[in-house]
Amino acid sequence: MKDANTFVPGDRQTPSSPERPRNRVDLERSRNRIDLERVVSRARGLTRQDWMYWVKKGVKALTYYAGLHPASLRLGEGEAAILFYHKVQRRPVGVWGEPVLDVHEFERHVTFLAREYQPVHLSELVAGLEGQTRLPRRAVALTFDDGYRNNLYLVAPILARHGIPATIFITTGLIGTDGWMWGYELEEIFSRHPPEQVCHASGDLAIIRMGSLGLSPRVLTSACVEYLKDLPHASMLDIVERLRARFPVPVNDENRFLSWDEVRELASQGFELGAHTRSHPILTRLPLAEVDRELRASRDMLEKKLGVRPRLFSYPNGATSPEVTALVSRYFQAAVTTRSGLCTRESGLLKLPRIGAPVPVSELAFELVWRLTP
C-alpha cells in the first residue's frame, strides 16, 4: 500500500497499445491522488451549522409562513420541476441526531405541492418537454430513488390521500434482499464502533489518515463516504466489503428494500417504475462494458418482473458522462440526474435536472421559487 500522498500513475496508452473502450474518468488512477483536504472540507460543509446557516433557515421559514413564495413566480409556460427523494422515515432524526424527512414533514410537502403546483408523472413531464402533449403550468414530478420499502408503507398512503402521482427508480439487484445501500451502512458502522477502529479496519491509508484528524464521527463518516465515491468502483467495493465483514450490521426498517411483490403492489397503485441500475454503482467509475451490463440487466429484470419495459432511468449519485449518457440512450427514453435546476424544452431528455427535496417544507418552497430565480 502506497503512502496517501504518493502519486502513482496508472497504466498509460502507448502508440502500440490497442484502443479500448473507456469511461471518461481515469479508472486506474490511484486512490492516493484524491485530495483529502478537499474531501474533508466538503464533509465539514455538509454538516456545518454556524450562525449563517441559522440565518438562512430563518429567512426561508419567514418567506414561507409569510406567504412570500407564490408558485406563479416560477414554472412558466414550458417549464417544469422534478423533485427527488429517497426514503421517508417514522422518526424525525437520523443516526447523528440530524433532521431527516419523516412522515409528518413529508405530508406537509405533499399538501404544499398539491395546493401550489400541478403534480404529474415523470413520463407526462417528459412527453410535455418533447412537445407530444401540452405541459401543465407549474408542473412538478415527484421521484424516489433506490426502492426502499417505506416508499410503499409510508409514502404511498400520503400520496394517495392527496391524489399525487410519483415515479420510483428501482435498484433491481437489491430488491428482495437484506442488502444495504453502502453509504447508510457505513453510517451505522461508524455510529456503533470507535471511529479510529473502523478506519484502521478499512486497510486504506487515506481513510486511516482521516481517522487520525480528530474529526467528529459525523464529519468523518461523511468524509469517508465522499472519498469512497471518488474511487474506481472495484476499489470502493473492496473497502466496503472489508468493513462489512469486520462490522456486520443487520439492515434496519428505515433502510430495507422492497420485495418484488411489493414492487408490483406499487405498480398496481399507479406508481411509475423506472430503472436505477442493478447494483447502484457510480457509473462514471466503471468501465463502459460494465456500465452497459448494469443498464441492460436492470431494464431486463424490470421487464421480466413487471411485464412492461421501463423507459425512464436515474443515474446513481446523479453522475454521468458523455460516454455513459450515450449508453443510457440505447435502453431508455429519458434519464434524470441530481444536477439542480428546472426542466425546459431545451433540457436534454437524457440529462434532466432535479431538485433535491430538503427536509422542512419552508425550504422546499424556497428552492422552487427563489433559489432558481434568474
Per residue of the chain (374 residues), give pLDDT as tens: 333 332 222 333 333 333 344 565 444 444 445 677 778 777 777 666 665 656 666 766 677 666 666 554 556 677 899 999 999 999 999 999 999 999 999 999 999 999 989 999 999 999 999 989 998 888 999 999 999 999 999 999 999 999 999 999 999 999 999 999 999 999 999 999 999 999 999 999 999 999 999 999 999 999 999 999 999 999 999 999 999 999 999 999 999 999 999 999 999 999 999 999 999 999 999 999 999 999 999 999 999 999 999 999 999 999 999 999 999 999 999 999 999 999 988 889 999 999 999 999 998 988 887 644 44
Q: d(Cα 160, Cα 179) in Å, to the nearest integer?
A: 28
Is 2 part of a structural domain of the chain?
no
Instruction: Indicate whether 38 and 125 sit together in one domain.
Output: no
Is 367 part of a structural domain of the chain?
no
Instruction: Indicate whether 134 and 236 sit together in one domain.
Output: no
Instruction: Indicate whether 225 and 266 sit together in one domain.
Output: no
What's the domain range around 209? Answer: 32-48+182-246
156-179 pLDDT, tens per residue?
A: 999 999 999 999 999 999 999 999
359 secondary structure, DSSP code:
S
Q: Which stretches of the chain are DSSP H helices?
A: 36-47, 51-65, 103-116, 122-130, 150, 156-162, 182-192, 195-201, 205-211, 217-229, 233-246, 260-268, 288-306, 322-331, 361-366
Residue 248 cell numbers, joined: 456486520
Is 6 part of a structural domain of the chain?
no
Instruction: Indicate whether 216 and 339 sit together in one domain.
Output: no
State the DSSP H helix or E strand holding residue 355, giving kind and residue range, or none if neither.
strand 355-356
219 CB-near residues (< 8 Å, 6+ apart)? 40, 43, 44, 47
CB 235 within 8 A of CB 280: no
How much is the pLDDT for 43? 76
Domain count, the chain: 2
How much is the pLDDT for 117? 92
Q: d(Cα 94, Cα 102) in Å, to the nearest integer?
A: 10
Instruction: Indicate whether 169 and 286 sit together in one domain.
Output: yes
Instruction: Indicate whether 203 and 298 sit together in one domain.
Output: no
Instruction: Indicate whether 95 and 232 sit together in one domain.
Output: no
Instruction: Indicate whether 191 and 173 sit together in one domain.
Output: no
How much is the pLDDT for 52? 65
Residue finishing a domain among 246, 265, 284: 246
Residue 67 cell numbers, joined: 406567504
Is 291 part of a structural domain of the chain?
yes
12-26 pLDDT, tens per residue?
A: 333 333 334 456 544
Write out 232-287 in H/E/C secondary structure. CHHHHHHHHHHHHHHCCCCCCHHHCECCHHHHHHHHHCCCEEEECCCCCCCHHHCC
